Chains A and B, each alone.
Chain A
Amino acid sequence: MKASIAGIAYCLPDTLLTNEELAAKFGDWTSEKITEKTGITERHIAKTDECASDLAVQACERLFERKLCARENIDFLLLCTQSPDYFLPSTACLVQNRLGLSTTCGALDFNLGCSGFVYGLGLAKGLVETGQAKNVLLVTAETYSKFIHENDRSVRTIFGDGAAATLIQSTFPDANTSDEPIGSFIYGTDGRGAKNLIVPVGGMRKRFPSTDETQADVFGNERTPSNLYMNGGEIFSFTIRAVPEAVRQLLDKMRLRLDDIDLIVFHQANGYMLEHLQKKLKIPEEKFVFTMEHVGNTVSASIPIALSEAAASGRLKDGQRVMVVGFGVGYSWAATVIRWRMGCF
């Protein structure tokens, strides 16, 4: 049996943060400049009492509405988040209960950021193809906005909250193609980059800040040690090193050329970075997906949201090969190729 993506649904919080609001707050960046540089016009922000589990449950309910799989048949729930409701228990256990999934269902959280969806696909494939599960619910749910200082425009302009639910099912191999529905994977990790995208305080290494004092960086962005810190330059440098190499490794491993891929969906990091990667890898416009204009960077939810949008707009069609590449915090990265099936979105 082979693991195959059967469906994707997603959920965004109702509250919007627009470029106009950001421009009003950060006087020297106009709304147009934010759009031009980030490719984002608005992001969705979770309310104070709206957590990853709330978004996750809504995304899953939308998936169940499509009757692809009865909830009682879900036998494994994988939940990726870096903004869990609690340190413990796992958000996956809360979501299992709220969705009314079987108590014989396995459930776990895993802590990854922008690479999380692709890692989740790898884990789900492993569970399905070793016969441990038949219907895996992969949930990627993130509320980074809760970590962000209101005066830090470097991250406030980019990140949005959201959750996606992806159903991975056990299917018979397709006799018409030698392609696997979820192909080979390449993974990568370089913890030397940990300090460049981090929330320094709040975990057990440093539970509480020694000071709540707000500090400003050279560009005037303010944050406390409890807030998200991103060294944008270092993250950019990492990305332009790691992503082209990951693409090359995956193509080599799968004995494919870039021309053999129908559509390419990178983690939707920001417009500037995606444009640079597209140019560097010489990916034709028609094969490159950019769908973050109205959602921002939703971390591990960004790839399934982009897949869903590409399918809904007709760009992603039945039988096409889609390369997905996740990269970011850690540093961590992963890539695979999916054979898209009608009805996945």
Chain B
Amino acid sequence: MNRKHFINELETLLEVMPGTLREDQHVRNLEHWDSLALLGVLALADEQLHGQVDADRLAKCVTIGDILNLLEGSTVTKNPQQ
């Protein structure tokens, strides 16, 4: 997984200026991090990684880096249908 690519995807999703999102940034301080953005991350994992992220763990993420780790790490499991 290319972390930079997913940072760009998160920038689009969270409606922030391209190139401004950092891994240490606290996600809850971002204006557009809400329950809809959370669905967006789940959709991103499904579409681009064909994987599934634990939604409860995603909701508990503190930083952008935590989200990337979830997307990248062992918690991303392949969808059984794929």
Contact = CB atoms under 8 A, between A and B. Distances in A.
Contact of A241 (B34, B36, B60, B81): B81
B39 A241 contact: no
A259 to B, nearest CB: 19
Interface stretch (A7-15, A43-51, A232-240): A232-240
A2 B60 CA distance: 52
Contact of A218 (B31, B36, B46, B59): B59
Interface in A94-140: none
Main SS of the interface on chain B? helix
A18 interface: no
Contacts of A37: 36
Contacts of A218: 28, 59-60
Interface stretch (A58-66, A170-178, A272-280): A272-280
A245 B80 CA distance: 9
Contacts of A234: 55-56
A221 to B, nearest CB: 7
A219 B55 CA distance: 14
B46 A232 contact: no
B81 A232 contact: no
Contact of B56 (A221, A233, A245, A248): A233
Contacts of B81: 241, 244-245, 248
B35 interface: yes
B34 A219 contact: yes
B47 interface: yes
B76 interface: no
Given A237-B52, A241-B80, A272 B36 contact: yes
Interface of B: 28, 31, 34-36, 38-39, 42-43, 46-47, 52-53, 55-56, 58-60, 79-81
12 contacts: A28-B31, A218-B59, A219-B34, A233-B55, A234-B56, A236-B39, A236-B55, A237-B55, A240-B43, A245-B80, A248-B81, A276-B46
A-B pairs, top 10 by smallest CB distance, nearest first, are: A233-B55, A234-B55, A37-B36, A219-B35, A154-B35, A245-B81, A236-B39, A276-B43, A232-B35, A233-B38
